[in-house]
Structure 1
Amino acid sequence: MATVEERLERGTGALDSDSVSPRLSTPPPDQPHQNNPLLGLPIVAIETILNFLSYDEISLLRLVCKRMDMICQRMLNQGFLRVERYHSLCQKQVKAQLPRRESERRNHSLARHADILAAVETRLSLLNMTFMKYVDSNLCCFIPGKVIDEIYRVLRYVNSTRAPQRAHEVLQELRDISSMAMEYFDEKIVPILKKKLPGADLSGRLIGSTPVAGPSTSLTTMSLLAKNTPSRSEMTKVQQQVKVNGASMTALRREMSEVRVKQLEQQKQLQDQEQKLLEQTQVIGEQNFRLAELERKLRELMDSAVGGGAGGGPTPAAAATPSSSSSSSGAVASSGGAAGTDSPPYKRTRKSPDSTRQSKRLRSKK
């Protein structure tokens, strides 16, 4: 890129302030070139030969001589205009096939084509604003020929593929080289070109010394100001650029509105999910409470069953012993009475130890 500045100084030094724009003008008349027969050919023949080269190679051929520099400058300027026309043609073809609704465009098969072409359009507008101001002033040409080649490559890729990659993947190289070219042009070349602008000498004179008022000075200042006024072509370009910017702004506003609508829908969904979560937590809490009550009741039932079995009435064996004892005692008593009636009174029946025990038990029970 350091050689670009030298080429620029050589190319602009040969131009007069009243020369025609290199975008539309033809180089000076043919001069005899004995050493190089190629340069002795007509300009149309040389341009036809150079059309087989890339624009990057054409930009490098500016170092050959002044005549080749003039021809290459013209071809570079024409190349930028041609790539703009080719891009507009491709964009019209794609837009004609897209549906009118924005929601249907996103799901269309040509949605990525449209995104890539829109990104190329913004890149072309940036390049136009950076370079064409000085190109129209006959101070330089469209220097970065590699950018033109890359734009052509992207447009041909969009036209030849049915399912292209994403826009940032396709345009990565174009963004890199175009941004580097614009940065270098603004930092290194624009300060040199501003010194050669028609209004630069006028502003320096007005600031440096106060001119004497007179008809000649007023006429010269008016003529210089008239030269610095923008032409109709520049005004139309500015209007077109304003329209393009307005269209891009409207598209961005539509996208912003759609994003806001989606955001509101997602917020509503989040609120519904939170409400459902609260309801589920309430249901889980109620179920936990019911389970705790059931466990408490089950424990009470278990405790009551265990307590009733331990502190209840006598066992059947124990209940059977007193009944048997009472029956045995009754039998003894009856037998004793019978014996008393039959046997003589002086005879006493001997009480057995079992009967005494039974009588004691009966007394204790009474």
Structure 2
Amino acid sequence: MAAVVERVDGCVGSLDPDSVSLRQSTPPPDQQHQNNPLLGLPIVAIENILNFLSYDEISLLRSVCKRMDIICQRVLNQGFLKVERYHSLCQRQVKAQLPRRESERRNHSLARHADILAAVETRLSLLNMTFMKYVDSNLCCFIPGKVIDEIYRVLRYVNSTRAPQRAHEVLQELRDISSMAMEYFDEKIVPILKKKLPGTDLSGRLIGSAPVAGPSTSLTTMSLLAKNTPSRSEMTKVQQQVKVNGASMTVLRREMQEIRVKQLEQQKQLQDQEQKLLEQSQVIGEQNARLAELEHKLRELMDSNARSRKSSDLPRQSKRLRSRK
């Protein structure tokens, strides 16, 4: 039989023994963390433990619990920043060893290293433009941990090998997984995150955009704009984003210029090879003509020799016939 008890708020309700046992058996979340030896550790200790795992494995551990999700998000964000610093360090070291002239750089032993690092820089800038806007707004973390692992693999490969493969062969896996991650993020996750941005209203429309015609629309838009004026931190973030976009554009322009230069060089090489082929064909024709002349002369010599032999054999035969008679 259920007992009637008085609640803390003054209301009266029935108390079921089964519900009491269930409530007593489920401890609060803080007590759960204390019971779990791993989650009961400080955040710094858990981060040090997670550093022994790959970033792909860390991204999979986000589904364990909320505390682990928060810690893994922090580790993933720090991992992306660390890989950017490591890339900049590698690029500085390679550029310091390269000559200043572009003509000498192409034939240098570190030319492929520089090409790979430049391609990684463009890939990092694209990832930064895709994810970091929402990461800075604390709406999500850098989700694709496998991309960080692949960037580290490419950078370590560049540092450890003296004669690496071509850039498209080394970066094929990185381009594939990063492009898939960015496409999935833009198509599936960004529409959800845009509704949570501070610059959007409840309908998901950006504040400051043209509203639907209706009464007092100008007053409502002005009031919303007055309430949501951008702060200095937001302006600095926008300026940083503009700088990142400008850097990526400069990198793309450099790549386009390099591709054009390579095309011009290849065209020149093809023209040189065509000229060499024409010269060789002319030389071969001249040699064939000389060979034909030599063959004609040899035939004439052979014919003259045969005639001289026949003429020398006739008096001998006549002498033999006379001696027999």
Please say which of residues 66-75 and 264-273 is displaced more in the overlay. 264-273
CA contact (8 A) 1:59 1:144 kept: yes
CA contact (8 A) 1:21 1:135 kept: no
The gaps in structure 1 that reach 5 residues or longer are 303-347
Q: In structure 2, do the counterparts of structure 1 residues 161 and 362 end up closer, same or farther at CA, with 3 Å as the change threshold?
A: closer
TM-aligned CA distance change 1:156 to 1:103, over 3 Å: same
Partner SS, residue 238 of structure 1: helix
Greater shift, 261-270 or 159-168, is seen at 261-270
Q: Is the 8 A contact 1:199 1:228 kept in 2?
A: yes
- Check conservation: 1:56, 1:146, Cα contact below 8 A: yes
Which runs of structure 1 show a deviation greater than 4 angstroms over 4 or more consecutive aligned residues?
1-32, 202-302, 348-366
Q: Residues 194 and 200 of structure 1 are in contact (CA less than 8 Å); yes or no, is this contact kept in structure 2?
A: yes
Please give the alpha-carbon distance, in whole angstroms, between the structure 2 residues aligned to 1:355 and 1:109: 80
Would you say the 8 A contact 1:22–1:141 is kept in 2? no
Query: In the alignment, what sits opposite 1:193?
Result: 193
TM-score normalised by length of structure 1:
0.57
Stretch of structure 1 that moved more, 180-189 or 281-290: 281-290
Q: Partners in 2 of 1:351 and 1:180 — Cα distance?
A: 91
Q: 1:205 to 1:84 in 2, by over 3 A?
A: closer
Q: Tell me the CA shift for residue 354 of structure 1.
A: 45
Q: Could you tell which deviates more after superposition, 259-268 or 184-193?
A: 259-268
Q: Distance between the aligned counterparts of 1:12 and 1:349, measured in 2?
A: 146
Name the SS for the 2:10 alignment partner.
Answer: helix
Measure the CA separation in 1 of the matches of 2:313 and 2:273: 87
Aligned to 1:104: 104
Deviates more, 1:239-248 or 1:119-128: 239-248
Distance 1:185 1:132 in 2: 12
Q: Decide which moves more: 172-181 or 19-28.
A: 19-28
Give the secondary structure class of the aligned counterpart of 1:14. Answer: strand
Contact 1:59 1:76 in 2 (8 A): yes
Contact kept, 8 Å, 1:8 with 1:140, in 2: the verdict is: no
Aligned-pair CA distance for 1:285: 13
Distance 2:129 2:161 in 1: 30
Change (3 A) 1:217 1:105: same
Larger Cα-atom Rg: 1
Taking structure 1 as reference, are residues 37 and 212 closer, same or farther at Cα in structure 2, changes over 3 Å only? same
Distance 1:235 1:161, change over 3 A: farther
Say whether the 8 Å CA contact 2:55–2:145 is kept in structure 1: yes
Cα pair distance change 1:220/1:82, threshold 3 Å: farther
Determine if contact 1:139/1:193 at 8 Å carries over to the other structure.
yes
C-alpha distance in structure 1 between counterparts of 2:313 and 2:279, whole Å: 79
The alpha carbon displacement at 1:9 in A equals 33
Give the superposition deviation at 1:200. 2.2
Alpha-carbon shift at residue 34 of structure 1 (Å):
3.8
User: Residue 235 of structure 1: CA displacement?
Assistant: 5.5
CA contact (8 A) 2:4 2:13 kept: no
Q: TM-score, structure 2 length as denominator?
A: 0.63
Q: 1:193 to 1:167 in 2, by over 3 A?
A: same
CA RMSD of aligned residues (A): 14.0
> How many matched pairs?
321
State the percentage of identical aligned residues. 90
Partner of 1:364, secondary structure, is: helix
Compute the displacement of 1:199 (Å).
Answer: 2.5
Distance in 1 separating the partners of 2:286 and 2:143: 78
